[in-house]
Amino acid sequence: MAKSTKSQWDGFSLKPRKEMPKGLWVKCPGCEQTLFQKAVTENMDVCPQCNYHFRVSADARIKYLADEGTFEQILANLVTADPLDFSYKGTKYKERAKAAEKTAFGKEAILVGKAFIKGRAVMLAVMDFNFLGGSMGAVVGEKLVAATEKAIEESLPLVVVSASGGARMHEGVVSLGQMAKTSAALAKLDDSGGLFISVLTDPTTGGVTASFAMLGDVIIAEPQALIGFAGPRTIYQTIKIELPEGFQRSEFLLEHGFIDMIVHRKDLRSEIARLIDYCGKKS
Ligand SMILES: [Zn+2]
């Protein structure tokens, strides 16, 4: 009798499996479940199981916040002049900024323009973490100031959605100067009786937290967002004190009076519209 050549592996392929199409599934960092990407996107990039708020791109943020098709962007083509002619690890900052345009929605870490939120006209500024970590350089500062001045001129509420790693170190002291520049413009908005609603999303840190993000008349945060100035390790190395877990999250900050409210992403539009009406800034 001929020996059977059939092995237990017949029918199994040793070829590598086809990769799962990119972006079809996503693992939730909150509940660690594997989720269907489409279900997450349709839920405003919030986990349907545990409400974990994923970071969103600037275009998605505008889509979730503004009335459809109402965002009219200004200064869309403003790009950095690279004041220090800066290079890092052999790559020029200007080249990095150019490359960042591919991962981000626009040409810089912030998009500003006029929009409507539930029928209320606003000046809207949305930061984009996909552009060099949402860092604030001269262009971010300039665009934010332009939005603030327009809000004063047209007597519109200013809504700024932050998502930032802080000041852009590629621009050195020029980036730090934006902290004072944006704060001064917001003081003028305040003097004119204008309304500034600041929305903090994950993450809002460094020079952005230390300037305009914390100057809102009303400060809203998304659930569980990382909000702080320096990171826990830097704080420990500086003051040699271990701070409690979660001390830089929205919930802790609300409990300690640093922010006014925590709002789920799906409720942001209604809450902002309600605040505008409450403050008498309905256009
Ligand atoms: Zn989850």
pLDDT at 262: 98
Q: Given a cut of 90, is residue 233 above it in pLDDT? A: no
Ligand 1 center–CA 25 separation, angstroms: 13
Cβ 159 vs Cβ 112: under 8 Å: no
If you average pLDDT over residues 75-87, what whole number do you get? Answer: 96
Q: Given a cut of 90, is residue 232 above it in pLDDT? A: no
What is the chain's alpha carbon radius of gyration, rounded to the nearest angstrom? Answer: 22
Q: Given a cut of 70, is residue 238 above it in pLDDT? A: yes
Same domain assignment for residues 31 and 103: no
pLDDT at 6: 52
Same domain assignment for residues 37 and 164: no
Q: Given a cut of 80, is residue 240 above it in pLDDT? A: yes
pLDDT at 145: 98
Ligand 1 center–CA 119 separation, angstroms: 32
Residue 7 lies in a domain: no
- Name which residue leads in pLDDT, 198 or 15: 198
Mean pLDDT of the chain: 92
Ligand 1 center–CA 200 separation, angstroms: 20
If you average pLDDT over residues 243-259, what whole number do you get? Answer: 94
State phi, psi for 200 to the nearest 5 degrees. Answer: -100, 125
If you average pLDDT over residues 175-193, what whole number do you get? Answer: 98
Ligand 1 center–CA 38 separation, angstroms: 14
Ligand 1 center–CA 32 separation, angstroms: 6
Ligand 1 center–CA 27 separation, angstroms: 8
Ligand 1 center–CA 31 separation, angstroms: 4
Same domain assignment for residues 45 and 128: no
Ligand 1 center–CA 40 separation, angstroms: 10
**Strand 158-164 relative to strand 196-204, pairing:** parallel
pLDDT at 231: 81
Ligand 1 center–CA 129 separation, angstroms: 21
How would residue 283 be classed by pLDDT, with cut points 50, 70 and 90? Answer: very low
Residue 1 lies in a domain: no
pLDDT at 280: 82
Please work out, in degrees rounded to the nearest 5, the angle formed at the alpha carbon of residue 113 by the alpha carbons of 268 and 224.
Answer: 30
Residue spans of beta strands (DSSP E) within the chain: 25-27, 34-36, 72-74, 87-88, 91-92, 110-117, 120-127, 158-164, 196-204, 218-221, 261-262
**CA 229 remoteness from chain centre:** 15
**Strand 261-262 relative to strand 218-221, pairing:** parallel
Domain count, the chain: 2
Ligand 1 center–CA 43 separation, angstroms: 12
Same domain assignment for residues 49 and 59: no
If you average pLDDT over residues 260-270, what whole number do you get? Answer: 98
Ligand 1 center–CA 223 separation, angstroms: 13
Say which amino acid occupies 245: E
pLDDT in tens, 47-79: 999 999 999 999 999 999 999 999 999 999 999
Ligand 1 center–CA 127 separation, angstroms: 24
Of residues 163, 121, 117, the one with CA closest to residue 271: 117
Same domain assignment for residues 30 and 67: no
Structure tokens at 93: 């900052």
- Of the chain, the percentage scoring pLDDT greater than 90 comes to 85
Same domain assignment for residues 200 and 236: yes
If you average pLDDT over residues 179-206, what whole number do you get? Answer: 97
How would residue 245 be classed by pLDDT, with cut points 50, 70 and 90? Answer: confident
Same domain assignment for residues 121 and 49: no
Domain that holds residue 45: 23-54
The pTM of this model reads 0.90
Q: Given 37, 54, 71, which residue is the final one in a domain?
A: 54
pLDDT in tens, 89-140: 999 999 999 999 999 999 999 999 999 999 999 999 999 999 999 999 999 9
- Name which residue leads in pLDDT, 9 or 106: 106
pLDDT at 10: 47
Please work out, in degrees rounded to the nearest 5, the angle formed at the alpha carbon of residue 243 by the alpha carbons of 238 and 248.
Answer: 100
Same domain assignment for residues 215 and 271: yes
Residue 21, preceding peptide bond in cis (omega within 30° of 0)? no
Ligand 1 center–CA 140 separation, angstroms: 32
Other residues' Cβ atoms within 10 Å of the Cβ of residue 204: 30
pLDDT at 193: 96
What b/e string do you get for 41-77 counting C-beta neighbours within 10 Å, with b at 16 or more? eebbbbbeeebbbbbbbbbbbbebbbeeebbebebee
pLDDT in tens, 18-48: 544 567 999 999 999 999 999 999 999 999 9
Same domain assignment for residues 125 and 157: yes
Ligand 1 center–CA 59 separation, angstroms: 23
Ligand 1 center–CA 227 separation, angstroms: 20
Same domain assignment for residues 60 and 45: no
pLDDT at 221: 98
What's the Cα-to-Cα distance from 253 to each of 107, 179, 221, rounded to whole Å? 32, 21, 9
Residue 8 lies in a domain: no
Ligand 1 center–CA 221 separation, angstroms: 19
Structure tokens at 49: 């199981």
Ligand 1 center–CA 51 separation, angstroms: 6
Burial of 170 (0-12, 13-18, 19+ CB in 10 A): buried
Residue 18 lies in a domain: no
Same domain assignment for residues 210 and 271: yes
- Of the chain, the percentage scoring pLDDT greater than 70 comes to 91
3-class secondary structure, 242: coil
Same domain assignment for residues 167 and 103: yes
Of residues 26, 205, 39, the one with CA closest to residue 133: 205
For residue 125, give the CATH number of its domain.
3.90.226.10
Residue 251 lies in a domain: yes
